[in-house]
Amino acid sequence: MMESTRWAVVFVSTMIAAATCGCAAQSSSETQQQTQLASEAKEESHFQKALDFEAQGQWELAKQEYRLATRQDPRDSRPYVNLGRLYARDGQSARAEECWHEALRVNPSDARASNLLGSVCLRQREFGKAITYYQKALEADPNYANAHWNIAGAYRSLDMKRQAAQHYRRYIQLASPSEREDVAEAKRYLDAYAEK
């Protein structure tokens, strides 16, 4: 009887040890998961901080946070696009373009970066190149009202009335209520020049 009791004690001790190890492993796994979630939240926080600083008009702090966001998640094109906008705002157009090109390298379907690079080309009167960027933006997001407005302007500059009209019509459908003046201009163009 003593022998069977000793085996029972060994068996129970082994089961308790196994159960304890399992709990420790689960706890460690949970800790790793919580650490990963905290790390992801921290990564997102630099982008969010940048947005907050930008909303407050604290441009240099916003730039700093966008730069940190690009390092934390090199696959996210949004910080590059927004950082480029701030550089453009400060008249640093070469740096802005670098950011937008980097955004497209990171995410070739970033519609905002394509649209912004198209606008650079439009200002430089490189209409064909601008149209290529705007088309790329519209391939990524067919409902991007601003890209429709911009490509219509590029086509208009090349006196390609039918193409301009097509994009002005789409812009009118997609424009927000705050864009009343642009919608009115698009309608004037359609009334005056476009085939109906």
Domains of the chain: 41-108 (1.25.40.10), 127-196 (1.25.40.10)
Predicted confidence (pLDDT) at residue 7 exceeds the cutoff of 80: no
Cα torsion angle, 80, 86, 89, 93, sign: negative
Cα separation, 160 vs 80, whole angstroms: 33
The pLDDT-based confidence of 162 (bands split at 50, 70, 90) is: very high
What number is the average pLDDT over the span 135-159? 97
What number is the average pLDDT over the span 25-51? 61
